[in-house]
Amino acid sequence: MNTEEIQKFLQSNKLPDSKTFKITFKKRNPLSGIFIDCKDSDDLQSKNLWRFVTMANFEEWKSSKDINLSRIYSGSDFAKISIG
């Protein structure tokens, strides 16, 4: 997926941090979690990179907001994004 497609999807489904998304990748297993905004979000998005916290780290991230619990994924590897 390209940056514009991802941004459009996220903007049309923008809700609180507790809203989860499922990323289906082209060549790996899908992940569920949340996209997060940080200081570097604009720079990352310009390169079609996205900061994502998986459900395994969600509760810890929710209390600490530690960006080290997130991973950065390339939007070009996304096949589909859905809610839930």
Q: State the residue range of the domain holding 79.
A: 3-83
What's residue 68's pLDDT?
A: 95
What's residue 5's pLDDT?
A: 94
What's residue 84's pLDDT?
A: 80
- Total domain count for the chain? 1
Those residues whose C-beta lies under 8 Å from the C-beta of residue 18, and which sit 6 or more positions away, are 34, 62
Q: Cα–chain-centroid distance for residue 31?
A: 10
CATH number of residue 29's parent domain = 2.30.30
According to DSSP, residue 68 is labeled G
Query: Amino acid identity, residue 21?
Result: F
Beta bridge partners of 24: 80
- From first to last of its 84 residues, the chain has per-residue pLDDT tens of 999 999 999 888 775 555 789 999 999 999 999 999 889 999 999 999 999 999 999 999 999 999 999 999 999 999 999 988
